[in-house]
Amino acid sequence: MDLDKQYRNMVGHLLPYGPAWNKSEPILLSLALTLSNTHARLDDLMQEVNPKTTTELIDRYEQICGLPDSCYPSEFQTLTIRRNRLDSKINLVGGISKDFFLQVLKANGYTDATITNYNNDIFTCESTCDDYLYDEEWRFYWIVNIPHNYQITDMTCNDECDSSLRKWGDKQIECIIDKLCPSHTYVIFKYGVTNA
């Protein structure tokens, strides 16, 4: 049974008994139509509560959350991208762990990215000859490894002679990670590698 019919039945049942009232009175039918339209509109507004499904209130949500920010230029965003960014901004729990940053990378489409830390990789006289030459300062550095040649563009014969031989990088994910990383650390991004 559709919503209009349900409200017509409900309004009809609210009438007192007797021949004075007709259930098909135009004023009663318009009241039922108004109630069903209000009900449908409330159902629509319930979708606006969730940032993943909002349409009408997305501009207001973005204004409250400070979006679009420098990581997401406003001219290149679809509604889906705007919803996902809004959802991640509102529901971001935060953290400084490796798992947190892997979740951020996954939420932005890099499901197979890895992170390399240099906390315990200090080179000493007891290190083997194939160990990396990292000193104590490297404990403040970490690397985001983005595999499978994402965002790598090689120069072709159709490019200008002053073009770069190779370009790489995703400014958007680099901006997001740089904003979220602890202030005492430095992030290095490596593209096209599985692990550093």
Q: pLDDT tens-digit profile of 104-158?
A: 888 878 888 999 887 666 667 777 776 666 667 777 889 899 887 666 777 788 8
Average pLDDT, the chain: 81
The pTM for the full model equals: 0.61
C-beta contacts of 131-140 below 8 A and 24+ residues apart: 140/184, 140/185, 140/186
What residues contact residue 100 under an 8 Å CB cut-off, 6+ apart?
A: 93, 94
- pLDDT given for residue 187 in this prediction: 92
- β-strands 186-191, 141-146 pairing: parallel
Both tokens of 83, joined, read 């919803």
Q: How far apart are CA 4 and CA 83, in angstroms?
A: 32
- pLDDT given for residue 79 in this prediction: 86
